[in-house]
Each structure stands twice: as structure tokens, then as C-alpha cells.
Amino acid sequence: MNLFEIVKYGVSCREAAERYGVEVNRYSMALCPFHNDRHPSLYVADDHYYCFACGEHGDVIDFVSRLEAVSPKEAALMLAQAFSVPY
């Protein structure tokens, strides 16, 4: 397995979202950090996220990459370090 697969299986999208300050409610909905959102439109599942308003979607690595404005590889390394995922 490579770094990307290990991180995807080791860290859920919901855990990463909450770690980076996105408050996910009990219905797995949150305010989207990728546009000016006033009502929860971001669905955060364990393996992916999707915004019903702006259409942003992807997996946990895509989420952190987009949120922190880094490359996918840097995002995977950040997640591995933040969640103590051995790779």
C-alpha cells in the first residue's frame, strides 16, 4: 500500500474535518469552508465529502489539500503526522 491508501483507510473525512475546525452536526452536515456558507450544505461521510451548494467533493486527502492550499502529497503527510498513521 502507498501513502495515499494508508491515509485514506486510517483517517476518516469526519475526523479530519473536525480536526481542522469544521463542526459536523449529528446529521453529518457542516458549513462548507470552501465558500461563504450560512446554512450547512457540506455532507461529511467517513470516506468522502460533498457540498450540495458549490459542488466541491473528494476524499480526506482532497479535503485537507484544498483547505490548507497544499499538494495532495503534502496533505497526506500532514494527515499521517496529525493522526499518527504509520506509513
Give the model's pLDDT for residue 87.
81
Q: What percentage of the chain carries pLDDT values higher than 90?
A: 97
Average pLDDT over residues 13-27: 96
Q: How confident is the model at residue 1 (pLDDT cuts 50, 70, 90)?
A: confident
Distance CA 68, CA 78 (A): 10
Taking all residues of the chain, what is their mean pLDDT, rounded to a whole number? 96
Give the model's pLDDT for residue 80.
96
First CA to last CA distance, the chain: 9
- Listing DSSP states for 28-87 in one string gives SEE--TTTT-SS--EEE-SS-EEETTT--EE-HHHHHHHHHT--HHHHHHHHHHHTT---
| pLDDT tens per residue across span 32-73 | 999 999 999 999 999 999 999 999 999 999 999 999 999 999
